[in-house]
Chain A
């Protein structure tokens, strides 16, 4: 470090100071200009294009961290909330005809299998008590029961379909819909869920069948699955269209 005092001309100090001030003002102007430019970028699915690209890049980076061995922390049953928070009703209002409900499993286009709740309950039940996390920032320990999606894939011979990149799900009225990457769907804690706190799902929690996917924010835990399909391109996603991250992975 050069801590030795220097003797310089008065002019030198003046010029250097002026130059630094000009640089500083230019820097501030450049920052404001860049910020303004960013705000005027076109949008892609509700998000400014550079930021959308940033989200997609983050997905690519952090999907490398993803492992089926990384589990959402689980808790004792007594810690599960008796009253489970309900945050959204989109896709639930028009679908009260649950008596005739069947899951439409689209194996390929034109080959749709109709699966009843009884068919699903035949498979071994898995339970999970985990800290449900909402994209808004709140969290709640909740208790769910259902069938592992990976078990479901095995049972229905969907090994070819599970080689695709995404799973799409929609409510029976198709008003709420999500797309999820295959790795997250095949995670051992991902459930096609039909029980909450040991009882059948309440209507406002998506009776008769919903998704529980602890590696994602709540927005991806679609309630009342009407249709389930497989795709190589991103299926449409309700909150993605409104400017949120597609991946939403934790």
Chain B
């Protein structure tokens, strides 16, 4: 006998996994587009610490001279990416699942405790539901970034027809920078997400496949419950 607990609804699992190849294609085609005017870098004064992207990176991934291909992919898959994201957001709202994801008034304080805990600085965590406070903030943040990436993308795509949107975002050049930074944040989120999932282990990962997690405390399973089944 095993004790399981339902964690991720079917819709969330599908939308999550469909989003993965779509976001991958959006980032890949975005890199193909960005190459044609690859002006962003991190540095101070004349000193460049990191160029986006280094020539070796472009060369290794065969990125140069594929602008048209990048645009054609980007402006095709943007619809699927957007629709998937909108459905996900609507599902969260209507299923009330958002209550488990959006931060509450204690989340900011608790997120700090979670980070200290994860870094092995402090032991013990406040009681949590489906997600801890740090997860709530991260997952809500990624939803907000998803919204912003569509908005900034639209502003770059139609800066004349959607001039008001472009103005709100600080103009054409700023919208392009914001769109780029959000993409970098997506990649960073992805890296942390993958590491956390690996640390959390198979049971947690299986939750995103089957929807349930196996609860370890076998002692809790009393004979009566088994009989009642």
A and B co-occur in one complex? yes
The A1-32 residues at the B interface (CB cut-off 8 A) are 1-10, 12-13, 16-17, 19-21, 23-24, 27, 31
A66 on interface, CB distance cutoff 8 Å? yes
Whether A139 contacts B100 by the Cβ 8 Å rule is no
Question: B17 contacts A24, CB within 8 Å?
Answer: yes
Contact A47 B72 (CB under 8 A): yes
Contact with B along A67-105 (1 / 0, CB 8 A): 100111100000000000000000000000000000000
| Residue A58, interface by CB 8 Å | yes
**A231 beta carbon closer than 8 Å to chain B:** no
B150 to chain A, nearest CB (A): 15
**Bound-state Cα–Cα, A18 to B34, Å:** 41
Q: Decide: B1 and A8 in contact? CB cutoff 8 A.
A: yes
In the assembled complex, B5 has its CB within 8 A of some CB on chain A: yes
A18 CB to closest chain B CB (Å) equals 10
For A67, what are the chain B residues with a Cβ–Cβ distance below 8 Å?
161
The answer to whether A136 and B68 touch across the interface, beta carbons within 8 angstroms, is no
A7 touches B229 (CB 8 A): yes
* Residue A125 at the chain B interface, CB threshold 8 Å: no
Name the B residues within 8 Å of A72 (CB-CB).
159-160, 163
Name the interface size band of chain A.
Answer: 35 or more
Contact partner, A2, options B6, B76, B96, Cβ 8 Å? B6
Number of interface residues of B (CB under 8 A): 53
B182 at the interface (CB under 8 A from A): no
Tell yes or no: A156 within 8 A of B by CB.
no
Q: How far is the CB of B218 from chain A (nearest CB, A)?
A: 10
Q: A residues within 8 A CB of B110?
A: none
Q: Do A139 and B172 have beta carbons less than 8 Å apart?
A: yes
CA distance A243 to B66 in the complex (A): 10
- Output the nearest chain B residue to A136 by Cβ-Cβ distance: B36
CB distance from B160 to the nearest CB of A (A): 5
Q: Is the CB of B75 within 8 A of A5?
A: no
Q: Which residues of B48-87 have CB atoms within 8 Å of chain A's CB atoms?
A: 67-69, 71-73, 75-76, 79
Q: How many A-B residue pairs have CB under 8 A?
A: 134
Of all chain A residues, which has the CB nearest B17?
Answer: A27
| Segment with Cβ contacts to B, from A49-57, A106-114, A191-199, A203-211 | A49-57
Q: What 7 A-B pairs have minimum CB-CB distances, sorted nearest first?
A: A137-B37, A54-B76, A20-B209, A243-B68, A136-B36, A51-B72, A65-B161
- 14 A-B residue contacts at CB 8 Å? A1-B97, A5-B4, A6-B3, A17-B210, A19-B210, A20-B209, A20-B210, A47-B69, A65-B161, A70-B163, A133-B172, A135-B71, A242-B68, A250-B161
Task: Indicate the member of B71, B129, B225 with the most A CB atoms within 10 Å.
Answer: B71
A238 within 8 A of partner (CB): no
With a cutoff of 8 Å between Cβ atoms, the chain B residues found around residue A46 in the complex are 68
> B171 to chain A: which residues have CB within 8 Å?
73
Which residues of chain B come closer than 8 Å to A139, judged between CB atoms? 172-173
Asked whether, in the complex, the Cβ of A6 is within 8 Å of the Cβ of B76, the reply is: no
| Minimal Cβ-Cβ distance residue in B for A138 | B37
Bound Cα distance A180, B66 (Å): 24
Q: Does A62 contact B68, Cβ atoms closer than 8 Å?
A: no
Q: Which residues of B contact A5 (CB under 8 A)?
A: 3-5, 215, 220
Q: How far does the Cβ of B127 sit from chain A's closest Cβ, in whole Å?
A: 14
Q: Is the CB of B172 within 8 A of A131?
A: yes
Contacts of B69 in A (CB 8 A): 47, 243
Q: Are A245 and B72 closer than 8 Å at their CB atoms?
A: yes
Q: Are the CB atoms of A6 and B4 closer together than 8 Å?
A: yes
CA distance A71 to B162 in the complex (A): 10
CB of A222 within 8 Å of the partner chain: no
Given contacts A13-B214, A65-B158, A243-B72, contact A73 B163 (CB under 8 A): yes
Bound together, the chains give a CA A224 to CA B112 distance in angstroms of 63
B76 touches A51 (CB 8 A): yes
In the assembled complex, the Cα of A47 lies from the Cα of B9 at a distance in Å of 39
A10-B2, A55-B75 are contacts. A47–B158 as well, Cβ < 8 Å? Answer: no
Tell which of B67, B72, B95 touches A136, judged by Cβ atoms closer than 8 Å.
B67
Q: Which of B1-33 contact A (CB under 8 A)?
A: 1-6, 9, 17, 21, 33
